[in-house]
Amino acid sequence: MAMDFYSQISNNKKMTILLFFAFFILVGVLAGIVSLLLGGFSIIGGMFLTGFGVLIILFAVISYYNCDSIVTAVSGAKEAPVEKFKQLHNLVEELCIASGLPKPRVFVIEDTAINAFATGRDPNHSVVCVTTGALQFLNREELQGVIAHEFSHIKNYDIRTMTIATVLVGIAVLLSDFLLRMVFYSGGHGSSDSKDARLFIVILVIGVILAILTPFIAQIIQFSISRKREFAADAGSTEMTRNPLGLASALEKISKDKEPLEAANKATAHLYISDPLKNTKGLWLKGLFQTHPPIEQRIAALKGMKS
């Protein structure tokens, strides 16, 4: 199954721009409503809107340039010394040759769950991380398939897109939570004019609805982006290794591993090769909120690539 990497990279860059545009509009609307509740476009409201805009820019810039350090710290990952993880480094170096990518920094999470992820802003500032469970329970071909999957995410700039999505979702959720707290604890005050008061109430209701729906909408967008990229990364792994059954076998082992990854959380779950939380069963409309496509579909697709 051939894969157009240049087209995938182009699509990911376009998706990055769309993500920025959509989320900044959403965050801008929420910030405007908060400003209105603080006094409309008075000095107080204007100061909030300006200050929040500056904070968003600073947060986005810091997150962009330090996303690898932030994600590894949150995940409890430690850099893997070559002398202790020689086979892991050998596999990474082999895949660097196969993919033409510079060698990423290699990290390990001390956990018996089988999983892995990649992060960073671009191939020159990337990280590949695996759990000790993956090193323990996967054979060489399986581990190679897993790492090649993460290399595909790096090569396609998936890591940048998903990192930006994570940052923007976090900002939108924080702002919506702040707006809800303002409404329910302070109440807000509109104009004494009845017409202005009605307009204020309408805007307030819209703000509350947006604040309630924002976290769900943002996560649905984030998860749908993640699911699509998993199939592409599986195909990319096969392009590098010429061995779809290696990754398919690894995914079969991962599907049988019912142990959740303790260091993972909802903010970072989409970065892993498979859902690290293991808690999606029984949820209503669970398909919308899954970070990954069904693992059985991924295995079937990989086995279908066998020549």
- The full 3-state SS of the chain, as one line of letters, equals CCCCHHHHHHHHHHHHHHHHHHHHHHHHHHHHHHHHHCCCCCHHHHHHHHHHHHHHHHHHHHHHHHHHHHHHHHCCCEECCCCCCHHHHHHHHHHHHHHCCCCCEEEEECCCCCCEEEEECCHHHEEEEEEHHHHHHCCHHHHHHHHHHHHHHHHCCHHHHHHHHHHHHHHHHHHHHHHHHHHHHCCCCCCCCHHHHHHHHHHHHHHHHHHHHHHHHHHHHHHHHHHHHHHHHHHHHHHHHCCHHHHHHHHHHHHHCCCCCCCCCCCCHHHECCCCCCCCCCCCCHHHHCCCCCHHHHHHHHHHCCC
In this prediction, residue 151 carries a pLDDT of: 96
In this prediction, residue 2 carries a pLDDT of: 43
Catalytic residue among 150, 259, 262, 296: 150
Q: Which two tokens stand for residue 48?
A: 């909030």
212 has a pLDDT exceeding 90: no
Return the higher-pLDDT residue of 86 and 220: 86
Instruction: State the CB neighbour count (10 A cutoff) for residue 118.
Output: 28
In this prediction, residue 282 carries a pLDDT of: 45
123 has a pLDDT exceeding 80: yes
Q: What integer is the mean pLDDT of 129-153?
A: 96
Residue type, 223: F
User: pLDDT tens, 28-38?
Assistant: 777 777 666 66
In this prediction, residue 49 carries a pLDDT of: 64
In this prediction, residue 283 carries a pLDDT of: 46
In this prediction, residue 108 carries a pLDDT of: 98
Q: pTM for the complete prediction? A: 0.76
Q: Is the dihedral of CA 260, 261, 265, 266 positive or negative?
A: negative
Q: Spell 53-63 as b/e; 16+ CB within 10 A means b.
A: eeebeeebeeb
Q: Which two tokens stand for residue 150?
A: 């993460």
189 has a pLDDT exceeding 70: no
Alpha-carbon distance 84 to 293, whole Å?
34
In this prediction, residue 186 carries a pLDDT of: 53
Q: Indicate the angle between helix axes 194-241 and 86-99, nearest 10 degrees.
A: 100
3 has a pLDDT exceeding 50: no
165 has a pLDDT exceeding 80: no
Active site residue 150: yes
277 has a pLDDT exceeding 80: yes
Q: Please state, for a pLDDT cut of 70, what percent of the chain lies above it.
A: 71
Summary mean pLDDT of the chain: 79
Q: What integer is the mean pLDDT of 158-184?
A: 72
- Which single residue is written with the structure tokens 């984030």? 222
User: What's the chain's length in residues?
Assistant: 307
pLDDT band at 65 (very low <50, low <70, confident <90, very high): confident
302 has a pLDDT exceeding 70: yes
Q: What integer is the mean pLDDT of 161-171?
A: 72
User: pLDDT tens, 217-231?
Assistant: 766 766 666 677 888
User: pLDDT tens, 145-163?
Assistant: 999 999 999 998 888 777 7
pLDDT band at 129 (very low <50, low <70, confident <90, very high): very high
Q: Spell 254-286 as b/e; 16+ CB within 10 A means b.
A: beebeeebebbeebbbbbbbbbbeeeeeeeeee
Alpha-carbon distance 269 to 275, whole Å?
6
Alpha-carbon distance 199 to 12, whole Å?
40
Q: Which two tokens stand for residue 142?
A: 């399986």
Q: Please state, for a pLDDT cut of 90, what percent of the chain lies above it.
A: 34
- Which single residue is written with the structure tokens 């008075």? 42
